[in-house]
Amino acid sequence: MSKRGLGRGLSALIPSASQESHTSEDVRELAIEIISPNPEQPRTDMDEDGIAELSDSISKVGLLQPIIVRPLGDGYQIIAGERRWRACRAAGLERVPVRVLSASDSESLEIALIENLQRDDLNSIEEARGYKKLLAEHQMTQAELADKVSKSRSAITNALRLLDLPEEVQEMVYAGSLTAGHARAVLSVPEEATRMKLAEKIVSDGLSVREAENLARLFAAGSVAREPRPMTPKSFKVIARRLRRLFGTNVRVKLGKDKNKIEIEFRGEDDLERIFALITQGEIAVEEVAE
């Protein structure tokens, strides 16, 4: 699906910004030491290799795109352009071109989110977290947010749904192991444990989105058909823990449909004889049992 235009940019967010011509006369230079990053900015994944490449380019031709900042305390806080600011520091620049805007915390986050969306710099999880923050902390409805970022309301809803994934799966999307398409396939499975299992299989087998969707349908059908697993009594867990200490190996006390069972792990023949001696307290030799 193609992205809708984000052409309105800052003018859609801050009325005063729409009145500015944004020519070179709007740009000024500030000492880099009085500029600080915004801890609330939506982009959290800074590619160090990419920053190094940008720093090398800045060293040769300078910074072509100004950093957007707002006054804060005795200095200025970055609204958009932290990556460029980091690269300028790495290049050893003492002063950088900036455009100064007066923006509230809410407006600053909105501008940062849109700037990154325009540049395709946010991954799906960062985008969803940015939307959630705007909705939760700045009393904004999904319809208002959709209008701000020039996206459909359904696009906002679908992005936010990614945050319903288990934390481990969100990290897979954040790290790029899963795409947003893969993540939506995982979301079609109702149970969290099954979602984890499906996500791990997608990554381990390198499945395409289409293959993931087909597998998700099978997983979902299995989730519906499967009867709820009965809860294991607490006493089973207590006994299993005591047996593990006694035998010095892993022991499971399992609840079955008709019969229950105890599983005791052993490494080899000698280990089996050791466990047998503990069970019988040495009163019965293994040779006697073999006879």
Q: Which residues are catalytic?
A: 82
Query: Which amino acid appears at position 146 of this protein?
Result: A
Tokens 């481990």 correspond to 168
Q: Which of 84, 64, 74 is nearest to 24 (CA)?
A: 64
DSSP code, position 206:
T
CA geometry: angle 176, 44, 181, nearest 5 deg = 30
Nearest-angstrom CA–CA distance, 189 and 195: 6
**CB neighbours (10 Å) of residue 191?**
15
The two three-digit tokens of residue 139, written as one number? 């009393």
Which amino acid is located at 90 in the chain?
A
The continuous run of DSSP H or E covering 136 comes out as helix 124-137
Q: Are 162 and 179 within 8 A, CB to CB?
A: no
Residue 53: closest CA among 29, 83, 98: 83
Q: Which residues pair with 78 in a beta bridge?
A: 69
Secondary element (H or E) of residue 147: helix 142-148
Residues contacting 178, CB < 8 A, separation 6+? 169, 172, 186, 199, 202, 203
User: DSSP secondary-structure letter at 32?
Assistant: G
